[in-house]
């Protein structure tokens, strides 16, 4: 049975760096909830038809699948449309709970569930711990500009739609700060993993 770790954090904070490090150096099995949601509305699945009915043919790409950028442009910054999209996709929460059950039974030493809305659902009822990756806004904005080829204004708009890490810190078992080098961040991850597994075994 795996040590089930929930990982969350705001945009461009370093969640992917953490999860890759856990997979590559600690034998973790990793599921990215956001990417898994994409599989729920592949062509031929009921959610595909519901999304097209809700948002129109403009969200269907040239390859016949949902164009996530076109869809994102429509719902970004609009809570009502985002809620409509979640409804169209279907029982996301139920699917994630099913995945968490699978991860818990995984033979890997660690299983990682990476989810933006980790603390907003019932997922911590199953996870052994929840880690919040945090970085200051200026750091994240610079990363976002470089990663997504955005202007500073565009990056600041994306950041403005995210929940600040300080608002969520009290719900996390551990806050991992990522404002320095990748090497420093990875070293902090190694320490945190060692302490978590030791506590899990001794507990």
For position 85, what pLDDT does the model report?
96
For position 203, what pLDDT does the model report?
59
Evaluated on CA atoms 170, 172, 174, 180, the torsion sign reads: negative
Backbone angles phi, psi at 172, to 5 degrees: -90, 145
pLDDT digits 0-9 by tens, 141-196: 999 999 989 999 989 988 888 889 999 999 999 999 999 999 999 999 999 999 99
Task: State pTM to two decimals.
Answer: 0.89
Q: How many CA atoms lie within 13 A of 87 on its CB side?
A: 10
């Amino acid at each position: 049975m795996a040590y089930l770790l929930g990982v969350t954090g705001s945009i461009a904070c370093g969640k992917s760096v953490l999860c890759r490090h856990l997979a590559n150096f600690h034998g973790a099995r990793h599921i990215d909830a956001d990417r898994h949601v994409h599989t729920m509305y592949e062509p031929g699945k009921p959610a595909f038809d519901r999304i097209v009915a809700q948002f129109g043919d403009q969200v269907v790409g040239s390859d016949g699948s949902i164009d996530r950028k076109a869809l994102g442009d429509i719902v970004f910054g609009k809570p009502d449309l985002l809620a409509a999209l979640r409804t169209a996709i279907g029982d996301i929460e139920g699917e994630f709970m099913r995945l968490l059950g699978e991860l818990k039974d995984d033979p890997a030493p660690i299983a990682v569930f990476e989810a933006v809305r980790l603390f907003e659902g019932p997922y911590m009822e199953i996870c052994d711990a929840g880690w919040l990756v945090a970085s200051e806004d200026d750091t994240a904005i610079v990363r976002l500009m470089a990663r997504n080829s955005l202007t500073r204004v565009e990056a600041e708009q994306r950041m403005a739609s995210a929940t600040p890490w300080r608002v969520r810190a009290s719900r996390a078992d551990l806050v991992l700060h990522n404002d320095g080098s990748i090497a420093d961040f990875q070293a902090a991850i190694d320490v945190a993993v060692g302490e978590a597994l030791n506590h899990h075994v001794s507990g």
